[in-house]
Amino acid sequence: MPCRRANFTSRMRPLCFAPARDDLSPVPTEPSLHMPLDARLVQAVTEATEARRDAIIALHRQFVQTPSVTGNEGPMSQRVEEAFRRFALQTESWVATAEEMRNHLEHVGEQARYDGRLNVVGRRFGAGGGRSILLNAHIDTVPEGDPSLWSHPPYAADLVDGRVYGRGSCDMKGGLTTYLAALGALDACKVRLRGDVTIAATVGEEDGGLGALATVLRGYRADAALVTEPTQLALVTACEGSLVFRITITGRSAHAATRDEGVSALEKFIPIMQDLQAFGRERNATLSHPLYDVFANKVPVNIGVVRAGNWASTVPESLEAEVRVGFLPGEELERFKRVVRDRILGVAATDPWLRDHPPEITFFGGQFIAAETPVDAPICDAIRVAHRAVTGKAPKVEAATYGADMRHFIGFGGMPCVMYGAGDIRLAHGPDEYLEVEELMTAARVVALALAEWCGVA
């Protein structure tokens, strides 16, 4: 039902002056000037979201029904732009160019194409005097894979037992729907925010975050950023970095019958491989981070590709190995590259052949910087307060062991950024990906209230 315009303004106050722990106290049933969120606002947003349930589901299904595999986001961009206009957002869309990405390829990866991949930004300017926020959702998805493995067609967006099935349903078209549902709820409640809200629907996240970085390079900034990746309504404040590199080792070929006259590049690689594994174990044992210590292996080393030799009867004259090493917030990418390089060359220095023929180490596309926002940052408090108001509990605070666009907003945009959204990341990328409608509704309410809390109500 539409809600009347209540006076939601009296208790809105900047969170940064509030002690964080007090914000975890339960929401009262009666409005109070001293509680984190006005109970009437919480109630109004809850009702407004519920009243719009069918429309929210319909919007989400529409998004899922629009395929947008990384590299082919065009039709989805159009759909998003139409939706933004319906929500009276001032829109801007643009395509990132190879030119502007030239110096950033390490961070976003080589792109097969740039054309037609529209990033869409929708903005709503606030009444003034509040904090601004940048809301990000990537519109690309991974491919659907083998359709025969799906029990629901990947782009049908079937709604079954409270779940919407389809590629991108949880990763992360649900996140985009969440923002619009949240704005819709605030509109229905006639809430005017003080701070500016910018929604950036961006391309290429699955392949390095082209659109998110382009958004930052275009100058979009806010006092904080939120990414509604599927975190199962946990507040994720950190994402892990990953360094990807290729080791090339040169040996000397020889006929197998005289193999001792050759130098096997494969055999020269073995001590390097063993040392990389030891490096991973040492780092895991010695590094500590409050959010990552729960993981059995917080900084995995993965030797993902090894190519060597060309014939059973020939000593391998060359080897290429591709390796991915995880690193934690607090470890800086360029410094970490030097650490890895020194480690490998250190092993090589102990071998006479490798001393004279040192391995080549090439860092190629897909470097993910590690990034984090302090758990007591004001934006974290705004999410906590809103989550508690809706669910009655504090959200779990977690770290991600994967890279995500939040790193671009923190690392390049200099904004505090966190992730919080509906959906389970374990369902992403596989067949029968789905999103629970109830979780989407909860996320919408929480984000609506977090916006009120963060931006202030006029």
Site residues (vs Zn ion, CB under 5 A): 171-172, 229
**Nearest CB to Zn ion, comparing residues 241 and 251:** 241
Q: Give phi and psi for 319, each to the nearest 5.
A: -145, 140
Q: Sort strands 360-363 and 241-250 into parallel, antiparallel or unpaired.
A: antiparallel
Q: Within 13 Å of residue 127, how many CA atoms lie on the same side as its CB?
A: 10
Return the CA Rg of the chain. Answer: 25
Helices and strands counted in the chain (H then E): 13, 16
Which residue's CB is nearer to Zn ion, number 130 or number 230?
Answer: 230
CB of 139 to Zn ion, least distance (A): 10
Is the CB of residue 224 less than 8 Å from the CB of residue 131? yes
The CA distance from 119 to 210, in Å, is 9
- As a dihedral over the C-alpha atoms of residue 365, residue 67, residue 426, residue 136, rounded to 10 degrees, the angle is 70
**Using CA atoms, how far apart are residues 453 and 436, in angstroms rounded to an integer?**
26
Closer residue to Zn ion (CB): 36 or 174:
174
Smallest CA-to-CA distance from 296 within 335, 323, 326 is with 326
Question: Shortest gap between Cβ of 142 and Zn ion (angstroms)?
Answer: 9
Nearer to Zn ion, 227 or 354 (CB): 227
Shortest spacing between CB 189 and Zn ion, in angstroms: 29
Q: What is the DSSP string of 88-131?
A: T-EEEEEE--HHHHGGGHHHH---S--TT-EEEEEEE--SSSS-
The one-letter amino acid at 257: A
Which residue number, 317 or 372, has a Cβ lying nearer to Zn ion? 372
User: How many angstroms separate the CA atoms of 348 and 366, rounded?
Assistant: 26
Kindly list the distances between the CA atom of residue 339 and the CA atoms of 109, 274, 320, 327, 359, in Å, as whole numbers in the listed order.
22, 17, 20, 11, 15
| Nearest distance from C-beta of residue 263 to Zn ion, angstroms | 45
Is 331 labeled as catalytic in the residue annotation?
A: no
Whether 220 contacts 123, CB under 8 Å: no
User: In whole angstroms, how close is the CB of 392 to Zn ion at the nearest point?
Assistant: 28
* Two tokens, residue 60: 């989400």
Closer residue to Zn ion (CB): 118 or 139: 139
Give, to the nearest 10 degrees, the angle between helix 378-391 and helix 39-51: 70
Asked if residue 205 lies in contact with residue 211, where contact means CB atoms within 8 angstroms, the answer is yes
- Is residue 335 within 8 A of residue 79, CB to CB? The reply is no
Using CA atoms, how far residue 128 sits from 13, 125, 176, in Å, is: 14, 8, 25
Instruction: Pick the closer one to Zn ion by CB: 172 or 348.
Output: 172
Q: Would you say 204 or 456 has its CB closer to Zn ion?
A: 204
* Euclidean distance between CA atoms 385 and 22, whole angstroms: 10
Look up tokens 């939040």; give the residue.
406
Which is the catalytic residue, given 81, 140, 331, 372? 140
Q: Which is nearer to Zn ion, 23 or 229 (CB)?
A: 229
Q: Which residue out of 144, 158, 205, 453 is catalytically annotated?
A: 205
- Minimum distance from CB of 237 to Zn ion (Å)? 17
Q: Least distance in Å: CB of 172 to Zn ion?
A: 4
Rounded to the nearest angstrom, the gap between the alpha carbon of residue 303 and the centroid of all alpha carbons in its chain is: 24
Q: How far is the CB of 138 from Zn ion (least distance, A)?
A: 6
Smallest distance from the beta carbon of 407 to Zn ion, in angstroms?
13
Among this protein's residues, is 205 annotated catalytic? yes
- Tell me the residue number closest to Zn ion, measured at CB: 171
Question: What positions carry a catalytic annotation?
Answer: 140, 205
